[in-house]
Amino acid sequence: MADDVFSQLRPITADEWPAFTEAMHAVFAEDPPADFAERPSPVAELDRSLALWDGDRVAATAGIYSRTLTVPGAVVPCAGVTWVTVAPTHRRRGVLTAIMRRQLTELHEQQREPVAGLWAAEYPIYGRFGYAPATVEARFSGRTERLRLRPDVDLGTGRVEQVSVEEYRPAAVAVHRAVHRFVPGNMARDERWWDRQLRDDPSQRKGATARRYLLHREADGTVTGYATYRVTDSWTDTGEPDGTLIVEEVRATSTPAYAALWQLLLSVDLVRTLKYQASSPDDPLRWLVTDGRALHSTPVDGLWVRLVDVDRALATRRYPTPIDLVLEVRDPFCPWNDGRWRLSGHPAGGYCGRTDRDPDIVLGIEELSAAYLGGVSLATLQAAGRVTEVSPGAVTLASAAFGWPVTPWCPDSF
């Protein structure tokens, strides 16, 4: 059945978008925004969509966004897999398998993105197709009366201003462009993605205020940081304020700018609770406050990564310590990756190519994909029985080489 489905999948036209998005949102139990239901969003790429039709109804959907992903020491084109749904009437027929195979086969045969990424609605689904969680999203919360900056924190000589979205946008674009290339898991944002990032539909606010915008300016007027947040209004039975500060994004090019932005955020009037739902698990905020225990963190899986072409993906990233090992990769879903690869890398570059040498490490594509951004240790995967060491010490060497000083983090959902 999966082979038949593979041939029946096809991209949609603009006229078919309403039926496509209706089917997609039905599976997610959502009502699409009115304008999204009528016409494709500006970031939609219909030529990279897939639909399975059952008469005049769409029974399955999928799509790809053309993104650029920061990896250790470099950036790489990344296929942002999205819109993946299968109607309840068509499950257990090999439809999802056909979608995944079609996407990955086309990426490989057309020599497009060497890496794919997605956000998994449910954890158990995508591992069987070679995807693995490669970043962690930290969901911070705490009572603001306990969250105060240490007295020795350098706040610099700049100032934080609340601004309009029109003033905020060009300044934030410049700061983001300066910082995102240094954090594995971050993605570039063009104008279309900034439009999406800054969309503030009242129906999507869930009882919070409109988004508020902050910029940090140095004494000479240079913008070195930005933040966005919302507030939900709440009061106790005794009339005391009990609002919640919902922080959406905080980025800066210097520590003083970052600290100054947080100093303002933690002093917003009528607020008693902080929520920061999409932070790096290694956010410096924990080291800026006087009471690190007051900042509670709930880690959840973030961006899932899949190496489409092992050689191209591994040759693109950098390695902080030298490595020259043979990896025997097992990838039954994408057989072009199956086999032995010699990986030679260092801080300035890398090489990966086929070899008939004996392997030093044996692992699956899922494990290799998990380690790709430097946030998951191959030694940890070995301890879980998911990586096999053939040459003594190879896993230790590879773990150091695949690591990276900056914790991977993806603040861009899609």
Residue type, 201: D
- Confirm or deny that 268 is annotated as ligand binding: no
Cβ within 8 Å of residue 365, ≥6 positions away: 130, 306, 307, 310, 329, 330, 331, 333, 334, 337
- Confirm or deny that 396 is annotated as ligand binding: no
The active-site residue out of 65, 276, 372, 414 is 414
SS3 106: helix
- Confirm or deny that 329 is annotated as ligand binding: no
Task: Indicate the DSSP class of residue 44.
Answer: -
Could you list the beta-strand ranges (E) of 26-158.
50-54, 57-71, 74-86, 115-118, 132-133, 136-143
- Confirm or deny that 330 is annotated as ligand binding: no
Give the Cα separation of 153 and 139 in Å (integer).
Answer: 24
- Confirm or deny that 238 is annotated as ligand binding: no
For residue 414, indicate whether it is catalytic.
yes
The active-site residue out of 126, 129, 131, 226 is 126
Give the Cα separation of 275 and 297 in Å (integer).
Answer: 10
Write out the H or E segment, with its range, that includes residue 369: helix 365-371
- Confirm or deny that 199 is annotated as ligand binding: no
Q: Are 131 and 305 in contact (CB under 8 A)?
A: yes
- Confirm or deny that 101 is annotated as ligand binding: no
Which of 216, 217, 218, 220 minimizes the C-alpha distance to 265? Answer: 216
- Confirm or deny that 362 is annotated as ligand binding: no
Give the Cα separation of 154 and 171 in Å (integer).
Answer: 23
The CA radius of gyration of the chain, in Å to the nearest whole number, is 23
Using the Cα atoms of residue 310, residue 311, residue 312 and residue 316 in order, give the sign of their dihedral: positive
- Confirm or deny that 317 is annotated as ligand binding: no
User: What are φ and ψ of residue 407, in 5° steps?
Assistant: -65, 130
Active-site residues: which are they? 126, 414
Residues contributing to the annotated binding site for acetyl-CoA: 84-86, 92-97
Residues contributing to the annotated binding site: 84-86, 92-97
